[in-house]
Chain A
Amino acid sequence: MRALLCSFFMILALASASTAETLDRLREISAGFVTKDYGQVQATAEALAATGDARVATALSALRGGDLRFRKSDKQVFRVEKVGRDYALFDPFTGEAMGQAGSRETSKIKVNNAIRNAIDGLLGGLTLRADDPAIRLDAAEALFKSRDPGALAALGSAIEAETDGSVRDAMREARASILLASAQNEPQALIEAVETIRARGGQDALGLLAQIGADYPEPVQEAAAQARRGIEQSLMLWGYGQSLWQGISLGSVLLLAAIGLAITFGVMGVINMAHGELVMLGAYTTFAVQEVIRTSAPHLFDVSLLIAAPLAFLVAGAVGVAIERGIVRYLYGRALETLLATWGVSLILQQAVRTIFGPNNREVGNPSWMSGAFELGEMTITYNRLWILVFALTVFVLLLLILKRTPLGLQMRAVTQNRAMAADMGVRTAWVDAMTFGLGAGIAGLAGVALSQIDNVSPNLGQSYIVDSFMVVVFGGAGNLFGALAGAFTLGIANKFLEPLAGAMLAKIAVLVFIILFIQKRPRGLFAIRGRAVEN
């Protein structure tokens, strides 16, 4: 025990002695910066890095950024920060303030791109031993890209000492990347490196392996070719995954836009051409809520959407009820006339919004929890798209519950199936109509809240979704929520899978033509309601 303690203190003493000693040594080496010769500057930087001292990192990054200068009078090297026309001087290693100097008194240590690249590699090697695993990971990634052979030894010892599994993997990949940069390395080591790179996968791994040319030993070339095939295959699969995700995301947007339409169309046989404008009203409600929050309660910004959603539902729903009571109810039994009248309403709403809010796009911000993205393998998933998917499905489930579990839902279904009979049984069909229309309109408002996060909020917002949402309803089959669900996701996914093959425009055209042909086969959509109700 005593022996242990003793040796411990000895080590400690040694360590502190070495710290003081290396600082002097570092200063000594850094005198090499006082030159105009790029080669010497680079050699000095490398010599500094070779000490392995963590304090070198600040000096080197200052050098890279052009913030390292020396005083002309005593040739001492400083890290500088600009203060007015003068420079504040700091010790390049400890960061200790060393007073000020005029700009004429010091001279910049000039670097070129070759030196900058070298420094990137050196810094990577230095930060491999940092305390924070995230910094170590960054360092490994930097080395993977810079492929600086000088860092191999540092990497090797860092891998030995590394405790974090994922950081160690990154370091191994970096080492493999450096090894593969030179054909002169041991063939066996090269093949192992190829295997490591293959396990990493991804586009940059592919690029790395592509550089293995004819000057490499035969077996290495073979291994590389095989690895590339493997990576390409997995990349293709990931590409499909990405398309699938984008398709699902587009599908969720379509679902939101179409689901309200499916209700009014299905239950009432009414084509509501103003549906897109109700979506737009929802988006503008979001904008208005955010404006109020920005001016009066900025700390609430992150919950602005939660406030906007019920408001948008109410605003759009109220407008919907007004449309139903004011116009649509006089036109029951004349579906085509309803289509025209609601188109008129849509023009009026558009122009009203244009008059009130102006014709330009309005900016609706993303709350912090909806901005950014994360990586899933080779796929990028943005948070706003993910939340919109969640939101769309939530709205769908809620609507399903309303239809299946509430008295209103029961009455709505009764009216859908047989209006006359429902009326005979005492259902107030006029009231049910108004509520249904209001519900459909309210959901359009909710869709507007979601769309405001990914699209331009302008008076034309509704126009751009109306055709698509009609296609979803017609394709899925009116009056059936599952039809809208299936229709939205089918069309969304089909669209995104066609896009890489044919381009965005052609993909959309192909989908439209497909729907036209599909309707020939099933004139009432995918999930047609069967029975008497249809025959009218």
Chain B
Amino acid sequence: MLSRLLDPRTAIFMAIMAALTIGVPVLNGAGLLPDYLVPLLGKWLCYAILAVALDLVWGYAGILSLGHGAFFALGGYAMGMHLMREIGPRGVYGDPILPDFMVFLNWKELPWFWLGFDSFPFALLMAMLVPGLLAFVFGWLAFRSRVTGVYLSIITQAMTYALYLSFFRNEMGFGGNNGLTDFKDVLGFDLQSGSTRAGLFVLSAVLLMLTVLVCRAVVTSKAGKVLVAVRDAESRTRFLGYRVEGYKLFVFVLSAVIAGLAGALYTPQVGIINPSEFAPAESIMVVIWVAIGGRGTLIGAALGAVLVAAMESWLTGVAPELWLFALGAMFVLVTLFLPKGVLGLFGAGNLPAFAKRSEVPA
């Protein structure tokens, strides 16, 4: 079983991740790694999880979702709601139950959909359940109607755009434009303290490793082979007797749940969650991580996410006006010259059928 999951590349990746999981907190504790880097690295790992989740659906099932940021953000909001409740009477207005923004809007009691979020397990469950449910309903409708290719991409974009606009509304009860912020602690641990941050980083690293293992388990199973078949020749697979929409729905929901978890870890490390996470451009960003790292490789997606995020952090610090040029050039150059991504440079092409098949214009 384990040998099936851990092909050489994945094994190397796991080893590196394990080293990081132990190394980063130790180095930080020894004062060799500055404090600000720990949550930053944790944030990149959350991006990496999201990228792996997208790679599962795009790289293996051919579903290019331009709305995966929505699942991520929903998970983030679920955790953010819990963190808001944790603030308790320490908010600016000192209301023991209502978060500050509700006091500000003159709300008298907690809306029904905020009930239960004072419990951490419930919030965690919601961080998986809400994105999963949205993905289930959306995927069930879309795959059953055989909406594919570009059309599917565009309605996933419509989905995240609709959520983006919704969460901007103060009446929605999610803090409107400002989102949720000013978190104090999680499960009693102070979010500002170094040890909590190191703990969150370790959690992110572990979740990334788990995600890669789960996704490997899916794609190396029989179902995984069917998924690749769907990606490369959907109609043919259907004619062979497979319930294509069932397979697609399964990975789509799984991917959304993983994305939601990533979001739930992202919020406490970044300290804020707001509607901009739903912006269509953010979701397209996820796609470029996967494309740059190498589509259909899982660990390539993780690599791409960390590479691009690191580059963004560095370049927006050094020469902010160059960042969009660099990002745009990456999009163009990678699609033109690196169809297999950075990982493809190392002869990792396990995608022989790629790039040749997919829609051929009439």
One of A337, A474, A533 near B335 (C-beta < 8 A): A337
| Interfacial chain B residues near A347, Cβ < 8 Å | 324-325, 327-328, 331
Interface pair A340/B288, CB less than 8 Å apart: yes
A523 at the binding interface (Cβ < 8 Å): yes
Interface pair B142/A520, CB less than 8 Å apart: yes
Interface pair A348/B324, CB less than 8 Å apart: yes
Given the known A-B contacts A467-B157, A515-B158, are A344 and B360 also in contact in the complex, defined by CB atoms under 8 Å? no
B362 at the binding interface (Cβ < 8 Å): yes
Interface pair A463/B360, CB less than 8 Å apart: no
**Interface membership of chain B positions 331-342, coded 1 if the CB is closer than 8 angstroms to chain A and 0 otherwise:** 110111001000
A269 at the binding interface (Cβ < 8 Å): yes
- Complex CA gap A471/B165 in Å reads 15
Interface pair A471/B158, CB less than 8 Å apart: yes
Which residues 21-35 of B have a CB within 8 angstroms of A? none
- Complex CA gap A191/B161 in Å reads 56
B280 at the binding interface (Cβ < 8 Å): yes
Interface pair B335/A523, CB less than 8 Å apart: no
B174 at the binding interface (Cβ < 8 Å): no
A314 at the binding interface (Cβ < 8 Å): no
| Interfacial chain A residues near B150, Cβ < 8 Å | 265, 269, 271, 335-336, 339
Counted as pairs of residues, one from A and one from B, with CB atoms less than 8 Å apart, the total is 155
| Interfacial chain A residues near B240, Cβ < 8 Å | none
- Complex CA gap A268/B362 in Å reads 8
| Interfacial chain B residues near A470, Cβ < 8 Å | 154, 157-158
One of A334, A344, A532 near B355 (C-beta < 8 A): A334
One of A331, A513, A523 near B151 (C-beta < 8 A): A523
Count of A interface residues, CB-CB < 8 Å: 56
Interface pair B361/A332, CB less than 8 Å apart: yes
Main secondary structure, interface of B, reads helix
Count of B interface residues, CB-CB < 8 Å: 49
Given the known A-B contacts A333-B360, A344-B335, A346-B328, are A467 and B280 also in contact in the complex, defined by CB atoms under 8 Å? yes
Which residues 312-344 of A have a CB within 8 angstroms of B? 327, 330-341, 343-344
Given the known A-B contacts A351-B321, A536-B360, are A505 and B157 also in contact in the complex, defined by CB atoms under 8 Å? no
Smallest CB separation, B212 vs chain A (Å)? 23
A370 at the binding interface (Cβ < 8 Å): no
**Interface membership of chain A positions 48-61, coded 1 if the CB is closer than 8 angstroms to chain B and 0 otherwise:** 00000000000000
A354 at the binding interface (Cβ < 8 Å): yes
- Complex CA gap A521/B169 in Å reads 29
- Complex CA gap A345/B118 in Å reads 45
Interface pair B331/A340, CB less than 8 Å apart: yes
**Interface membership of chain B positions 350-362, coded 1 if the CB is closer than 8 angstroms to chain A and 0 otherwise:** 0000010011111
B329 at the binding interface (Cβ < 8 Å): yes
Interface pair A344/B330, CB less than 8 Å apart: yes
| Interfacial chain A residues near B324, Cβ < 8 Å | 347-348, 350-351, 354
B84 at the binding interface (Cβ < 8 Å): no
| Interfacial chain A residues near B325, Cβ < 8 Å | 347-348, 351-352
| Interfacial chain A residues near B146, Cβ < 8 Å | 523
Smallest CB separation, B215 vs chain A (Å)? 20
Smallest CB separation, A314 vs chain B (Å)? 23
| Interfacial chain B residues near A331, Cβ < 8 Å | 335-336
- Complex CA gap A417/B153 in Å reads 23
| Interfacial chain A residues near B148, Cβ < 8 Å | 523
- Complex CA gap A505/B332 in Å reads 34
A519 at the binding interface (Cβ < 8 Å): yes
Which residues 132-156 of B have a CB within 8 angstroms of A? 138, 141-142, 144-151, 153-155
Given the known A-B contacts A512-B161, A536-B360, are A474 and B151 also in contact in the complex, defined by CB atoms under 8 Å? yes
Interface pair B330/A519, CB less than 8 Å apart: no
B166 at the binding interface (Cβ < 8 Å): yes
- Complex CA gap A114/B159 in Å reads 59
A508 at the binding interface (Cβ < 8 Å): yes
Interface pair A345/B328, CB less than 8 Å apart: yes
Interface pair A419/B141, CB less than 8 Å apart: no
Which residue of chain A lies nearest to B158 when distances are taken between CB atoms in the complex?
A512
Interface pair A336/B165, CB less than 8 Å apart: no
B287 at the binding interface (Cβ < 8 Å): yes
B162 at the binding interface (Cβ < 8 Å): yes
| Interfacial chain A residues near B64, Cβ < 8 Å | 336, 339
Interface pair B339/A337, CB less than 8 Å apart: yes
Which residues 235-272 of A have a CB within 8 angstroms of B? 265, 268-271
Identify which of A265, A271, A512 gathers the most chain B CB atoms within 10 Å of its CB.
A512
A153 at the binding interface (Cβ < 8 Å): no
Interface pair B153/A336, CB less than 8 Å apart: yes
Which residues 486-536 of A have a CB within 8 angstroms of B? 505-506, 508-509, 512-513, 515-517, 519-521, 523-524, 532-534, 536
B17 at the binding interface (Cβ < 8 Å): no
B291 at the binding interface (Cβ < 8 Å): yes
| Interfacial chain B residues near A520, Cβ < 8 Å | 141-142, 144-145, 147
Which residues 162-184 of B have a CB within 8 angstroms of A? 162, 165-166, 168-169
Could you list 12 further interchain pairs (A-B, Cβ under 8 angstroms) beyond the known A333-B360, A340-B291, A341-B331? A271-B150, A332-B360, A339-B150, A346-B328, A351-B328, A419-B362, A467-B280, A474-B151, A512-B161, A513-B162, A516-B155, A520-B145
24 contacts between A and B (CB under 8 A): A269-B150, A330-B336, A335-B150, A339-B64, A339-B150, A340-B284, A343-B328, A344-B327, A344-B328, A344-B332, A347-B325, A348-B325, A348-B328, A351-B321, A417-B362, A419-B362, A467-B158, A471-B158, A505-B169, A516-B141, A519-B142, A524-B151, A532-B362, A536-B360
